Amino acid sequence: MNFFQAIILGLVQALTEYLPVSSSAHIRIIGELMLHTDPGAAFTAIIQLGTELAVLLYFRRDIARILSHWFRCLFTRPVTGNWKERFGTRDRDAAEGWYIIIGTIPIVVAGLLFQDAIETTLRNLWITVTVLIIFGVLLWVIDAKAPQKKTIREMNWKEALIFGIGQMLALIPGVSRSGGTITFGRAMGYTREAAVRVSFLMAIPAVFGAGILETVKSVGSAAADPTFPGWGATIAATVVSFVVGYVVIIGFLKFVSTFSYRAFAIYRIVIAVIVAILLIAGALQPMEQTTKTAAVEMVNTVAAIF
C-alpha cells in the first residue's frame, strides 16, 4: 500500500463509518480492488480512530455531561442512602453512561472470544455480500414499519444491551456497526435520530478500544506486514478520516431527521450484487491466500478437537 492508496482508504472510511453501509466492507472491497489483498484489520482499526475523534468533537458537550454525572453518582454519597443511586436511578445522564457501558460489553466479549475468526474467516467477501443484503433488507423493512416514539432519554438497561448486540454483529464485515445498532434501535421504536445518536455514543469505547489495541499491536509488527503503508501514510489517512468524518456526521444527522433509511438499504443491496458479480468474474478474490491458510488451519484444529 502506498501513500495515495492509504489516503483513499482513509476517505472511504470517513464516508462510510457513520452510514449504515459498513465501512469495514468498503475498506475490504476497495482494498482488494486497489491492492489485490486485504488492507488488514490493523490498518482498518487505526484509521477508525480518526472518525471516532470526529465523534468526540461533535458530541463533546453530551460526552462531558454524561461523564461528569456518571462520576458524580459513582463517587458521591447517595442522597437517600440507597446504593442504587450510584447507577443513575435519580440521574438520567449518569444512567446513560451506564447504558453505554452495558451496550459495549457484547462487542468486547465477542471480539476477545472470536478474534481469530474475525481477522480471518469472517473477512470472506461472500460472507460480506450475504450480510450486506440481509441487513439491507432488514433495515428497509424495519425502518418502514417501526414507530418513531422513543428518545435516547427513555432507554433502559435491557434496551442498551439489545443495542449492544446490534453493535456486536458489526464484527462481521458487511453488517455495519451503525447499521446494526440503528436497525435494532428502530425495531425497538426509537426515532431515526435517536437511534443514530445512540449508535455514535456507543461506538466510542468499542471503536477506540479496538483502534488503540491494534495500534499497540502494530508498533512491533508493522515492518513485517507487506500491506502496511508506514506510519506516515497511516497517520495521514487517519487525519483525512477525521476531517471528512466530522462533515459526514453533520450531514447524516440532518438527513435522518427528514428522510428514511431506504436509500442506504438499496445502496447496500446494489453494492452486494456488484461485488458478487466481481467475485464470480474473478476480479475479486473472496479471501487472500494467507487468510485462506489461517481459515483452513482453524477448521482443521476444530475438527481435530471433536
Which pLDDT score is estimated for 224? 63
Place of cell 461523564: 67
Which pLDDT score is estimated for 11? 93
Place of cell 470472506: 124
Which pLDDT score is estimated for 276? 93
Query: What is the CB neighbour count within 10 angstroms for residue 254?
Result: 11
- Helix 92-113, helix 157-168: angle, nearest 10: 30
Which pLDDT score is estimated for 194? 93
195-229 burial string, b = 16+ CB within 10 Å, else e?
Answer: bbbbbbbbbbbbbbbbbeebbeebeeebeeeeebb
Which pLDDT score is estimated for 46? 80
Query: What is the CB neighbour count within 10 angstroms for residue 235?
Result: 16
Which pLDDT score is estimated for 1? 75
Which pLDDT score is estimated for 298? 35
Which pLDDT score is estimated for 301? 35
The pTM of this model reads: 0.82
Task: State the Cα–Cα distance between residues 14 and 197, nearest whole angstrom.
Answer: 17
Task: State the Cα–Cα distance between residues 172 and 294, nearest whole angstrom.
Answer: 17
Q: What 3-state class would DSSP assign to 259?
A: coil
Low-confidence ranges of the chain (pLDDT < 50): 289-306
Which pLDDT score is estimated for 136? 94
Question: In the chain, what are the helix, strand and coil shares in percent, each to the nearest 5?
Answer: 80, 0, 20
Which pLDDT score is estimated for 232? 85
Which pLDDT score is estimated for 287? 75
Residue 107 near residue 209 (C-beta atoms within 8 A) = no
- Helix 125-145, helix 177-187: angle, nearest 10: 30
Which pLDDT score is estimated for 302? 34
Which sign, positive or negative, has the C-alpha torsion 5, 16, 61, 243? positive
Query: What is the CB neighbour count within 10 angstroms for residue 153?
Result: 10
Which pLDDT score is estimated for 269? 94
